[in-house]
Amino acid sequence: MCLPRWALPLVGVLLAAGCALPDKLEPIDLEAADSPVAADFSSEIDLLERFEAQVEQPWFALEQGAFEGVDGITIRYRVSPANAPKGAVVLLGGRTEAAAKHAENVFDLNAQGYTVYAMDHRGHGASDRLFEGSDLCHVEYFQDYVEDLATLMDGVVLPAQDGPVFVVGHSMGASVAALYLWQHPEVFDGAVFSSPMFGVDTGAFPLAVAQTLATGVCSASAGAAYTVGHGDYDPDHAFEDSQVTQSQVRFDLKKQLYEQYPELRVGGASWSWVCESMWAAEVLQRLGRHTPTRTLMFQVGDEQIVLPEAQDAWCDDAPGCQKVFVDGARHEILSEADAYRNRALALTVRYLDALAEAR
């Protein structure tokens, strides 16, 4: 079945109808601060030599926590504490991404004074699959991702934190975070979205056709099958074919991670995931004006995965959203070449610092 819990699309449309746009908040001047700078973050120049000792081993040494998500699915996460933390960051990856893939980002944020909670979405990374032993990226309802985040916040993060708490979401993780911000606007002190999935690129299919096709397949009880052109994780995917990063080092390390830990990898999307994600994205484009949380959004110039115009629709309406356009960067800016990644991280930390100081 391809309908969100609580009829989320209908709710979003009704909320948006007839509402005047709120006044925009004054953007934070990210160039006013002289630190941190790109050179303060991990570099791909020597990443291969130090990755195992400084990134991989410390990540897997972190204690792994778990809780019961929607429908009894076990959701797993790791907490990486900072010394004398200025605040905490909840890090949410994109579709197919294990939290372990973001270990380099986690430790860079730690070094800048932020404790990080990194969660694996249901069906991703170390969290339970919806179909045991399958690479299929599947979800029954997109709202389930949001409910899992709510459980993490209520049961793990908020009881442990009395300082500022932020969310950093990439792609699908940003969609999950944005829906959570709409439903729980009082929880996070700020957000950073990297290439948010506020519109799904349906390729040669117009959006309306893709929605009709996905809904029809789901209604025919085939929602748990791979969608057209998708299949199991491909270990032979070549760097030259990458649409998401221009850093061969980080691309190769991701492949190495999934070779060493095949239980973390995820393959193509199910019809249900596609259907749910399209509906969630369509709703999100109407919810910016109802999301007052301060938000920094990174939009990349070489985007081949999601729709920049959908990001604009959300950010233009959201009173607290300010956009940074990164010309030439690809979808996974937090796994990109240093010139893009480290600049984005520097601006992220400046943004979080400003919000933490103003709290």
| HEC per residue, 36-63 | CCHHHCCCCCCHHHHHHHHHHHHHHHCC
- Other Cβ atoms less than 10 A from the Cβ of 239: the count is 14
CATH 3.40.50.1820 fits 39-132+140-201+242-257+288-358, yes or no: yes
Would you give per-residue pLDDT tens digits along the chain (359 residues)?
Answer: 444 454 554 555 455 555 677 889 999 999 999 999 999 999 999 999 999 999 999 999 999 999 999 999 999 999 999 999 999 999 999 999 999 999 999 999 999 999 999 999 999 999 999 998 899 999 999 999 999 999 999 999 999 999 999 999 999 999 999 999 999 999 999 999 999 999 976 555 555 545 555 555 555 445 788 887 889 999 999 999 999 999 999 999 999 999 999 999 999 999 889 888 988 988 898 899 999 999 999 999 999 999 999 999 999 999 999 999 999 999 999 999 999 999 999 999 999 999 999 98
* φ/ψ of residue 358, rounded to 5: -85, -10
Mention every residue, 6+ apart, whose C-beta is less than 8 A from residue 140.
Answer: 1, 71, 130, 272, 276
Tell me if 271 sits within 8 A of 222, measured CB to CB. yes
- Looking at the DSSP assignment, which residues form a beta bridge with residue 300? 326
- Measured between alpha carbons, how far is 42 from 106 in angstroms, rounded to an integer? 11
pTM over 0.95: no
